[in-house]
Chain A
Amino acid sequence: DIQMTQSPSTLSASVGDRVIITCRASQSISTWLAWYQQKPGKAPKLLIHKASSLEGGIPSRFSGSGSGTEFTLTISSLQPDDFATYYCQRYNSDSWTFGQGTKVEI
């Protein structure tokens, strides 16, 4: 099965910072990658699908890029509401595996 690896595991940042989270797949997954945001005690929320397509209602400061095995989630200017844990996930076929998560903290 394809493995998904995120880096870093934890990221310390300040309001207004540009934040980049990386997700690597052990084999090519084309652009079948989603990004989720999870806050404590809540279910994950879909932010981006197909590597770079922003879900409706998600602020434009979030963006995704990449294809094949390397992907990034960028938050252009971190806002107080963005402190959370972010997960990537490969989907479309086989096991829909998650990365281990990246916690964005103050």
Chain B
Amino acid sequence: QVQLQESGPGLVKPSETLSLTCTVSGGYIGSFYWNWIRQPAGKGLEWIGRIYENGNTKYNPSLEGRVTMSVETSKNQIFLNLKSVTAADTAVYYCARGSVLVGLDYWGQGTRVSVSS
């Protein structure tokens, strides 16, 4: 059974960089797209972007320029960096496995990140 686990600081200061890790167990990360999604409290889901095993990425245009994703296949880990954060970046951040055939079929439990001084 594929499992995803997000990890990272729960508190980030404004203007700094938010860095999260998604660790995948129970399956190899190859041949899938790995996505980051976030959800501010009481609001809807926002797709942040995706990365393929070869490092190809596609980001939400609204976050382009602030977001980078990377992958470490040997460790089955996917990374998210979001720079110059503000309070508007406070949210629960999810990683999810995706395929072009079915969408997002496995999700992590999410990690809450607050941006505050």
A32-59 interface code vs B (CB 8 A; 1 in, 0 out): 0010101000011110011001010000
Bound-complex Cα distance A38 to B37 (A): 13
Would you give the shortest CB distance from A15 to chain B, in whole angstroms? Answer: 25
Set of chain A residues within 8 Å of B103, measured between Cβ atoms: 34, 46, 49, 89, 91, 96
A residues bordering B, Cβ < 8 Å?
Answer: 1, 34, 36, 38, 43-46, 49-50, 53, 55, 87, 89, 91-101
Contacting A at CB under 8 A, from B32-48, are 35, 37, 44-47
Please state if A97 and B47 are interface contacts (CB–CB under 8 Å).
Answer: yes
The answer for the CA separation of A59 and B8 in the assembled complex, in Å, is 35
Cβ < 8 Å to A, chain B residues 65-88: none
Size category, B interface: 20 to 34
Contact of A43 among B60, B61, B101, B107 (CB under 8 A): B107
Contact B44 A98 (CB under 8 A): yes
CA distance A17 to B105 in the complex (A): 28
Q: Is the interface of B mostly helix, strand, loop or mixed?
A: strand
**CA–CA, A54 and B43, complex, Å:** 26
* A44-B45 in contact (CB<8A): yes
Identify which of A55, A91, A93 gathers the most chain B CB atoms within 10 Å of its CB.
Answer: A91
Given contacts A95-B60, A95-B61, contact A100 B44 (CB under 8 A): yes
- B:85-117 near A, CB below 8 Å: 94, 96, 98, 100-105, 107-110
Smallest beta-carbon distance A57→chain B, Å: 12
Once bound together, how far apart are the Cα atoms of A92 and B102, in whole Å? 8
- Set of chain A residues within 8 Å of B60, measured between Cβ atoms: 95
Q: Are A94 and B58 in contact (CB under 8 A)?
A: yes
Contact yes or no, A96 B35, CB < 8 A: yes
Question: B35: which A residues are within 8 A, CB to CB?
Answer: 96
